Amino acid sequence: MSFSTDYPEYSEIEELIRRARAERSVIIAHMIADAVVAVIRGFKQMRAGLAHGIKLERDIHALQVDALFRRSLPHH
């Protein structure tokens, strides 16, 4: 059983059908790869944003502790 015996009316365009299937497979593979890259890029940006937020929180905390420490020192 081959394509030409199953579908004799399409035997003339059999190679075109094979190429179209191969091109479709390549396009789908590119779409999947692009989606994976986009997800990875999104996670990297999210991680960078969280790290920046944590750094800001630490800076604010350090400023608050410094202000409390300065108030607790005796003034001469």
- The predicted pLDDT at position 61 comes to 84
Three-state secondary structure call for residue 73 = coil
- pLDDT tens for the chain, residues 1 to 76: 576 777 778 777 888 888 899 999 999 999 999 999 999 999 999 999 999 999 988 888 888 887 777 777 666 5
Residues 6+ apart with CB under 8 A from 14: 3, 4
pTM, rounded to two decimals: 0.57
Residue with tokens 């009316």: 9
Strand residue runs (E) in the chain: none
- The predicted pLDDT at position 1 comes to 58
